[in-house]
Amino acid sequence: MRVRESSLFAVLLLATSASAAPATVAPRPVTPTGRTPATVAESALPPAERRALDRALERYLRERPGRAALAVHDRTTGARYAFRERTPFMLASVAKVDILLAFLLGKDGRRLSAYERRLTSRMIRQSDNDCAGELYLTIGGRDGLGRALHRLGVRHTVPGTSWGYTHSRPSDQRRCWSGSPAPEARCPPGAGATPSA
């Protein structure tokens, strides 16, 4: 399934204490509905719905350690919602998606070499930090990542001197993830887009 074909997209950033036990949530089945029209207008949720979601999330998080922020975009209806939108988080390994995006944007639609495919695939599929470091240097480090994100209209992400220290907000990450150059780009297997033959 290509990235652009999913009907609902969400980014959740969490910072929890080391002693917190991971929450177990059963996955919900997703039924593809076909291609989303390219001209769906984006709009914020109505104020009453937004306030109700804010209250529900505040109640849910009150008894849990750490911090959380959320950005959601329903690609079918165009509805958007953000919770604690102004809360920046250190991305750590989530920054690997931004690095991949910057790398693919820099390729300008050219195919990846076999080595580039292995490098990007290992970074995403195996969360390989060495591959992320090499690609971060390849894209120009913090300046290169900043330029790539700026091209996408991302304004509140601050790349770090080391890729893992990049700080961002939920809606910036939503924009990054939904702004990936798929399907034109040749993404590594498992990186969210169908590779070209």
What's the pLDDT tens digit per position in 96-155? 999 999 999 999 889 999 999 999 999 999 999 999 999 999 999 999 999 999 988 888
CA-CA distance, 117 to 97, in Å (whole number)? 14
| CB 65, CB 19: distance < 8 Å | yes
pLDDT at 79 over 50: yes
Residue tagged 């702004």 (tokens): 179
Q: Which of 70-84, 113-127, 151-165 comes out lowest in average pLDDT?
A: 70-84
pLDDT interval class at 189 (50, 70, 90) = very low
- CA distances for 178 relative to 6, 129, 173, angstroms: 10, 23, 8
Q: Sheet harboring 8-15: ordered strands across?
A: 8-15, 67-74, 79-83, 43-44
Q: For position 123, what pLDDT does the model report?
A: 97
Residues 6+ apart with CB under 8 A from 89: 13, 14, 15, 67, 69, 167, 168, 169, 170
Arithmetic mean of pLDDT, 3-10: 44
Question: Which neighbouring-strand residues pair with 13?
Answer: 69
Average pLDDT of every residue of the chain: 76
| pTM attached to this predicted model | 0.66
What is the token pair recorded at 144? 């290169």
pLDDT of residue 57: 92
Residue 21 has pLDDT above 60, yes or no: no
Question: In three state form, how does the secondary structure of the chain look?
Answer: CCHHHCCEEEEEEEECCCCCCCCCCCCCCCCCCCCCCCCCCCEECCHHHHHHHHHHHHHHHHCCCCEEEEEEEECCCCEEEEECCCCCEECHHHHHHHHHHHHHHHHCCCCCCHHHHHHHHHHHHCCCHHHHHHHHHHCCHHHHHHHHHHHCCCCCCECCCCHHHCEECHHHHHHHHHCCCCCCCCCCCCCCCCCCC
pLDDT of residue 184: 37
Alpha-carbon separation of residue 14 from 69, 92, 94, 134, 146 (angstroms)? 7, 11, 11, 26, 22
